[in-house]
Structure 1
Amino acid sequence: MMGSDKLLKSILDTITQHICAIDKNGNIIYVNRSWITFGENNSSSIHKGWDKINYLQECDKSALKGDKDAIMAAKGIRDVINKVKDFYYLEYPCHSPNEKRWFMMRVTPFKLEEKEYYVISHEIITERKLAEEKVLNLSRIDGLTDIANRRYFDDFLENEWRRCVRLKMPLSLAIIDLDHFKLLNDTYGHQAGDECLKKVGSVLKTFAKRPADLCARYGGEEFAVILGDTTLKNSLTLMNSLLDAIRQLKIPNKDSSVMPTLTASIGLATLYPHACKEKEELIAAADKMLYRAKENGRNHVAYENK
């Protein structure tokens, strides 16, 4: 039978988890084959020349560059070393240019010859995270138009509001109503109405491309666009372009009093959120402007800057 050390090494080298062991100062004293292979394939400094690497120092370097996961990892490892926690785990993204990847890091202490050491393992959890992401996206998406639903709109606006409060940035909201959509439904049938909503949803996607933007189905034939860190002037330019894009769809609506093809009315409001205000004030302002746009002939943008 092979020696116990050789057997143990062979076992650890067959494990797909990336495993290393560190001492109480953070120095790496052991890594398995999966750890080394990952470093070779990803140009990871912490995986190369591991015998001269201090894991905690590498985490601290990344933390100084703004890596939030590295900040949490360093704190978690130190909590285990200092016996604040019995163990620690962290799920984090590690995406490559070609694919999305997630890992779970676990930190577990052990003793050897009265000295304390710590096993750090990184397990690939990409398949599970992708499945969770798919379920989450389904809960956020309107089934007909394939854009955000009202529930996700509410959550996104709340988060964007807080961000703009913190960073003192403007926040714009547009509420879009398809002019005389009921006539379109009555004239051409509900299937044609659904196709119309799908096409408008596709157009809206092209006007909400940044992380701070969101287009959503607001309800029925109403849509909404959130534009974070966007002034009234820039928002107005975008919304006028959106109106033109909707007109360019040339969807028939022969009984409309505006023109014989689909048009829309937009209420636009921009304000600088702060702690004394609520996001409902922005919604109310955009809704008021939508009413004004419809009262004044439809097929245009009415706007307010507060």
Structure 2
Amino acid sequence: MLDDKIFLKQVLDTTPDQVVVINDSGEIVFVNKSWQNFGEQNDCTCCDVWEQKNYLVECKKAADNGDEFGLNAYQGILAIIEQQQSDFYLEYPCHSENEKRWFMMRVVPFELSDKKYYVISHQNITERKLAEEQVQKLAAIDGLTDIANRGFFDTFLEQEWNRCQRLGMPLSLAIIDIDDFKLLNDTYGHQQGDTCLKKVAKVLNEFTKRPGDLCARFGGEEFVLVYGNTSSDQALLVLNDILEKLKHLNIENKHSLPSRTLTVSVGLTTITPNSDFTCAHLIKEADDLLYKAKNKGKDALCVSDLAFI
């Protein structure tokens, strides 16, 4: 006959879903191989001592740090333990620096030898979420420049703000405005103006490759760049490369003095998100810096670092 324990452990270790079992105090009593592997691949410090961890305590810690999904998970699991509901599931993002990932958590109770346990599984639903995101992006793309529009930017910035706040990481935002764009339109026509916007957008978009990066059209001839987990110094290096590449476009704007070519003004700010500030504060700071750059005579970059405030 099969050894039931070995057989069932092999079954659980075969599934690609990450599975953890807790008792009614939230203490972890079992994790499967997928759970263990995920922890090791993501540099989790407690990979060798899972059974010494309390799942509910970890969810509460995340919730106390402003993680909305941590709070939802904590409340949902507690509702199962207190028999307020029979099951619970939650879809949540778990992005790494290099890729987007989503999971669905599901919690199901069971009893064994008069003791209550709770199976918590985490299923990777990234493929479905990416497909859904692609559909949403079609409605969130600026029709002229083929980059994100203002609506998508607002949503993305809020999500990235929450992620950086939860993880204690810096968030950088740059607003970029084409200098004397009205003169370019009046001199060369709106078609040439549209071509100019497309070329600038293409350059900017080349510098947003990570899941926490975004290039969007902010409005008119203004663009915005978001860089999650990016310090002021790191963002400044990227912006300097962008400005150099924009100059190499060598787009004529003969009435824009003194350069007579396309230039831009930039406001760049960085903050470590916290409860004392909001996304609106970050945008206003970058916007104020942009107009400071304009007042300096255009073709300028003004920077502030609020990350340690």
Q: What TM bracket, shorter-length normalisation?
A: 0.5 to 0.7
2:250 maps to what in 1?
Answer: 250
State the identity as a percent.
37
Q: 1:258 and 1:241 mapped to 2: Cα distance?
A: 23
Shift of 1:241: 4.4
Please tell me whether residue 282 in structure 1 is matched to residue 285 in structure 2. Answer: yes
Q: Name the CA shift for 1:119/1:230 in 2 (closer, same or farther; >3 Å).
A: closer
Contact 1:239–1:266 (CA<8 Å) still a contact in 2?
A: no
TM-score normalized with structure 1 length: 0.58
Q: 1:15 and 1:161 mapped to 2: Cα distance?
A: 34
Q: 1:248 and 1:238 mapped to 2: Cα distance?
A: 16
Q: 2:290 and 2:83 mapped to 1: Cα distance?
A: 55
SS of residue paired to 2:148:
coil
Residues 199-250 of structure 1, C-alpha deviations (whole Å, 9 max, x = no match): 211221345567776432122332234567755x887765554333212013
- The 5 A counterparts of 1:86-101 are 86-92=86-92
- The 5 A counterparts of 1:229-248 are 231=232, 239=239, 241-248=241-248
Q: Name the CA shift for 1:149/1:262 in 2 (closer, same or farther; >3 Å).
A: farther
- The 5 A counterparts of 1:1-306 are 24=24, 38=34, 57=53, 59=55, 76-92=76-92, 102-110=102-110, 116-155=116-155, 173-179=174-180, 180-183=183-186, 185-186=188-189, 190=191, 192-207=192-207, 214-225=214-225, 231=232, 239=239, 241-252=241-252, 255-258=254-257, 262-268=261-267, 270=269, 279=281, 281-282=284-285, 284-289=287-292, 291-292=294-295, 296=297, 298=298, 300-301=299-300, 303=302
Contact 1:216–1:223 (CA<8 Å) still a contact in 2?
A: yes
User: Which amino acid is 2:289 matched to?
Assistant: A
Q: 2:251 and 2:29 mapped to 1: Cα distance?
A: 65
User: Which amino acid is 1:132 matched to?
Assistant: E
Q: Name the CA shift for 1:149/1:277 in 2 (closer, same or farther; >3 Å).
A: closer
Q: 1:98 and 1:169 mapped to 2: Cα distance?
A: 17
User: Which amino acid is 1:176 matched to?
Assistant: D
Q: Name the CA shift for 1:205/1:20 in 2 (closer, same or farther; >3 Å).
A: closer
SS of residue paired to 1:216:
strand
Q: Name the CA shift for 1:84/1:155 in 2 (closer, same or farther; >3 Å).
A: same
Residues 233-280 of structure 1, C-alpha deviations (whole Å, 9 max, x = no match): 887765554333212013455x54448974123043658796599636
Unaligned residue ranges in structure 1 (runs of 5+)? 46-52
User: Which amino acid is 1:282 matched to?
Assistant: E
Q: 1:17 and 1:117 mapped to 2: Cα distance?
A: 18
Give me the CA root mean square deviation.
5.6
SS of residue paired to 2:109:
strand
Contact 2:28–2:54 (CA<8 Å) still a contact in 1?
A: no
Deviates more, 1:91-100 or 1:197-206: 91-100
User: Which amino acid is 2:150 matched to?
Assistant: R
Shift of 1:16: 8.6
Q: 1:116 and 1:141 mapped to 2: Cα distance?
A: 50
Larger Cα-atom Rg? 1
Q: How many residues align?
A: 278
Q: 1:20 and 1:65 mapped to 2: Cα distance?
A: 18
SS of residue paired to 1:143:
coil
Shift of 1:58: 7.2
Contact 2:104–2:124 (CA<8 Å) still a contact in 1?
A: yes
Shift of 1:176: 1.5
Shift of 1:90: 2.6
Contact 1:267–1:289 (CA<8 Å) still a contact in 2?
A: no
Contact 2:157–2:279 (CA<8 Å) still a contact in 1?
A: no
Q: 2:303 and 2:96 mapped to 1: Cα distance?
A: 43
TM-score normalized with structure 2 length: 0.58
Q: Name the CA shift for 1:211/1:261 in 2 (closer, same or farther; >3 Å).
A: farther
